[in-house]
């Protein structure tokens, strides 16, 4: 019998030219308890189902939608799922979380995960309900945005279906294309390109069953309590201004990456700040499915319409590209949504290209920092994979830099091929380590080590052992939250997180979990991700930062400078390996491999 909240099985869908077949993969209690669900279980599934060294865009490469025991419960922020695959951007594991009714309907098809393999002969949609999977040709959806595709699919197949779709960039194989649903995105690592390579425009799921939790009354009580706490001060920032509140604060503390990481303060920041836009443009606030926080802030666009704005898309399409006109940034964000591309990678890749163009390394004299029209033109060229610049940039900054040469890789702001988020590593040195060692690449969601840097508890300009401990701790917390799955914006409401999470999971599943076991689970999940990457060819040399971050000091607003040398980073990385129980090359010790339950 499966644990509460789970079915104990995954559906593996093999797509042929014109049809799809489903096979049950039994998931025993040991695996489910060891990996929980979400990102953890997705990692285990990739180990099991991805052929070693598979091309991420090949038919054999699996793409997994993974749910968890909490999905469908009344616990706030639990309507989330993970999408896990080998990334066409990094060649390593990538996982992205998203929130929508798709999570609940997908799980209630009767599966803890849905894994898709194969390739259709023509652009199609995949439908999954209680009767299993079926493939329907959908050439009429070609070139549509994900939102348009969702609308048309609902019209064609009727109510009750929940949709995850790709935009034109996913169809065309842009390596940082997203998968979208209800306006939310599984954004990082190019999952949209993986689905597009299977000729699948959209996946539709429909609820067909129910699943019981172990302690219904206990879960209801916990849900009421968590909901109440979600209205408290720990989430005020998200509620009142959203993540865009970071922008002006980060600018004030010299950690707002600007003009391709050549500066950490941006003179145009006040024009893009949530504090200003909220007064001048704020029109609405919204929540994900089953969420009581409501972090989504939607701003009016000049000339009509509105746009959801987050810190990361404003940072990447604003300061990082030197653009300070909010309407240009709004338009660029909307364009990314229409094309279905990750705003961070798009902005990071274009910022690199702007620097190349200004240095004469790219023949694109129109592409200049600060030019909003140029930013929009570059996005269009990428979305269309227009021969020349669009085709080049569709591969992301690392591959583009390898093609352009002339040392441009030194200032391609990426780790393992994934463009860097809006956290300047030279002035946030716990985060520097987090960015360097994370399995997904430069990532602010699987490592939130910036919390330590911004807490006042560590010297954020001088990384050392305290920063290593902070990076490990935050990675562990993310591993559990992303697997159980709860939104990280809730993290501040937990006084004793591992203990409280263990209690929540126990109420839902019936497992007699405790904090110690969840700590071990976190370590297992982090190790399993690393083991996958090692299998796919990653080495310790990948656990680093771009040369610019290690050789060029950063001028601070205070007049001092912040520097992060290669030696200092290497020392922190070595400390991280020790703390994680890895060998000196960052490899999982043989004795720990058995704990990963990877043997068939």
Q: How far is the CB of 565 from another protein (least distance, A)?
A: 13
261: left (phi over 0), alpha (psi -120 to 50) or beta: left
What are the strands, taking DSSP E only, across 365-512? Answer: 414-415, 418-419
Q: How far is the CB of 421 from another protein (least distance, A)?
A: 7
What's the CA gap between 30 and 36, in Å, rounded? 10
The strand pair at 9-15 and 113-118 is best described as: parallel
294 vs 492, which CB is nearer to another protein? Answer: 492
Q: How far is the CB of 53 from another protein (least distance, A)?
A: 33
43 vs 243, which CB is nearer to another protein? Answer: 243
Q: How far is the CB of 294 from another protein (least distance, A)?
A: 14
Cis? peptide before 485, omega within 30° of 0: yes
119 vs 491, which CB is nearer to another protein? Answer: 491
- Give 328's contacts (C-beta < 8 A, 6+ positions apart): 372, 373, 375, 376
Q: How far is the CB of 168 from another protein (least distance, A)?
A: 27
341 DSSP assignment: B
The encoded tokens of residue 66 equal 């993974």
| 3-class SS letters over 513-530 | CCHHHHHHHHHHHHHHHH
Q: How far is the CB of 238 from another protein (least distance, A)?
A: 9
269 vs 572, which CB is nearer to another protein? Answer: 269
What's the CA gap between 334 and 331, in Å, rounded? 5
What's the CA gap between 509 and 502, in Å, rounded? 10
What's the CA gap between 477 and 468, in Å, rounded? 14
Contact indicator for 75, 69 with CB cutoff of 8 Å: no
What's the CA gap between 564 and 583, in Å, rounded? 24
What's the CA gap between 316 and 333, in Å, rounded? 10
78 vs 251, which CB is nearer to another protein? Answer: 251
The strand pair at 554-555 and 93-99 is best described as: unpaired
Please tell me the total number of residues recorded for the chain in this structure: 600
310 vs 325, which CB is nearer to another protein? Answer: 310
Q: How far is the CB of 495 from another protein (least distance, A)?
A: 12
274 vs 481, which CB is nearer to another protein? Answer: 274
Q: Is 204 helix (H, G, I), strand (E, B) or coil?
A: strand
Q: How far is the CB of 270 from another protein (least distance, A)?
A: 8
Indicate the angle between helix axes 38-49 and 465-484, nearest 10 degrees.
Answer: 80
Residues near another protein (CB under 8 A): 233-234, 236-237, 240-241, 243, 245-246, 248-250, 252-254, 265, 273-276, 310-312, 421-423, 444-445, 448, 450-451, 453-457, 459-461, 492, 556-561
246 vs 521, which CB is nearer to another protein? Answer: 246
The angle formed by the CA atoms of residues 348, 440 and 91, to the nearest 5 degrees, is 85
Contact indicator for 450, 423 with CB cutoff of 8 Å: yes
Q: How far is the CB of 252 from another protein (least distance, A)?
A: 4
Burial of 538 per CB tally in 10 Å (0-12, 13-18, 19+)? buried
495 vs 584, which CB is nearer to another protein? Answer: 495
240 vs 595, which CB is nearer to another protein? Answer: 240
Q: How far is the CB of 447 from another protein (least distance, A)?
A: 11
Contact indicator for 67, 113 with CB cutoff of 8 Å: yes
81 vs 489, which CB is nearer to another protein? Answer: 489
Q: How far is the CB of 49 from another protein (least distance, A)?
A: 31
């Amino acid at each position: 019998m499966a644990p509460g909240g789970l079915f104990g099985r995954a559906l593996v869908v093999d797509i042929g030219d014109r049809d799809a077949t489903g096979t049950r993969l039994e998931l025993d209690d040991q695996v489910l308890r060891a990996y929980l669900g979400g990102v953890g279980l997705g990692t285990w599934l990739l180990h099991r189902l991805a052929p070693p060294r598979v091309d991420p865009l090949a038919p054999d490469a699996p793409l997994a939608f993974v749910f968890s025991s909490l999905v469908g419960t009344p616990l706030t922020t639990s309507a989330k799922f993970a999408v896990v695959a080998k990334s066409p951007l990094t060649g390593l594991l990538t996982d992205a979380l998203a929130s929508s009714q798709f999570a609940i309907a997908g799980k209630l098809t009767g599966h803890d995960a849905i894994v898709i393999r194969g390739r259709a002969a023509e652009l199609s949609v995949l439908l999954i309900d209680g009767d299993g999977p079926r493939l329907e040709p959908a050439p009429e959806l070609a070139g549509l945005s994900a939102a348009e595709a969702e609308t048309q699919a609902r019209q064609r197949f009727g109510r009750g279906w929940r949709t995850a779709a790709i935009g034109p960039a996913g169809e065309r194989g842009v390596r940082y294309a997203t998968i979208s649903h209800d306006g939310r995105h599984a954004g990082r690592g190019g999952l949209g390109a993986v689905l597009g390579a299977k000729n699948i425009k959209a996946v539709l799921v429909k609820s067909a069953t129910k699943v019981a939790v172990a302690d219904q009354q206990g879960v209801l009580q916990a849900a009421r309590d968590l909901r109440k706490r979600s209205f408290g001060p720990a989430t005020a920032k998200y509620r009142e201004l959203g993540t865009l509140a970071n922008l002006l604060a980060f600018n004030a503390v010299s950690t707002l990456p600007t003009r391709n990481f050549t500066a950490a303060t941006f003179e145009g920041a006040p024009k893009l700040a949530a504090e200003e836009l909220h007064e001048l443009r704020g029109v609405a606030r919204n929540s994900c499915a089953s969420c009581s926080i409501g972090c989504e802030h939607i701003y009016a666009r000049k000339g009509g319409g509105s746009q959801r704005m987050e810190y990361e898309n404003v940072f990447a399409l604003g300061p990082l590209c030197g653009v300070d006109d909010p309407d240009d940034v709004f338009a660029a964000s909307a364009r990314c949504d229409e094309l279905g591309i990750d705003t961070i990678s798009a902005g990071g890749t274009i910022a690199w290209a702007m620097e190349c163009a200004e240095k004469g390394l790219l023949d694109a004299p129109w592409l200049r920092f600060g030019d909003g029209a140029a930013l929009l033109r570059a996005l269009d060229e990428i979305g269309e994979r227009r021969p020349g610049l669009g085709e080049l940039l569709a591969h992301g900054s690392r591959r583009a830099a390898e093609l352009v040469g002339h040392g441009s890789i030194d200032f391609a702001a990426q780790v393992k091929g994934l463009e860097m988020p809006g956290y300047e590593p030279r002035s946030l040195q716990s985060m520097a380590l987090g960015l360097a060692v994370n399995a997904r690449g430069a990532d602010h969601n699987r490592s939130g080590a910036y919390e330590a840097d911004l807490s006042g508890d560590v010297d954020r300009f001088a990384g050392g052992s305290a920063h290593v401990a902070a990076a490990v701790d935050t990675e562990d917390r993310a591993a559990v939250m992303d697997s159980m799955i709860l939104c990280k914006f809730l993290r501040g409401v937990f006084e004793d997180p591992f203990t409280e999470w263990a209690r929540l999971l126990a109420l839902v599943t019936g497992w007699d979990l405790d904090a110690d076991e969840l700590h071990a689970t976190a370590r297992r999940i982090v190790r399993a991700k690393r083991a996958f990457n090692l299998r796919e060819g990653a080495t310790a040399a990948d656990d680093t930062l771009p040369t610019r971050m290690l050789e060029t000091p950063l001028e601070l607003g205070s007049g001092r400078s912040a520097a992060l040398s290669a030696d200092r980073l290497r020392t922190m990385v070595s400390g991280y390996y020790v703390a994680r129980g890895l060998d000196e090359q960052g490899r999982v010790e043989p004795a720990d491999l058995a704990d990963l339950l990877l043997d068939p």
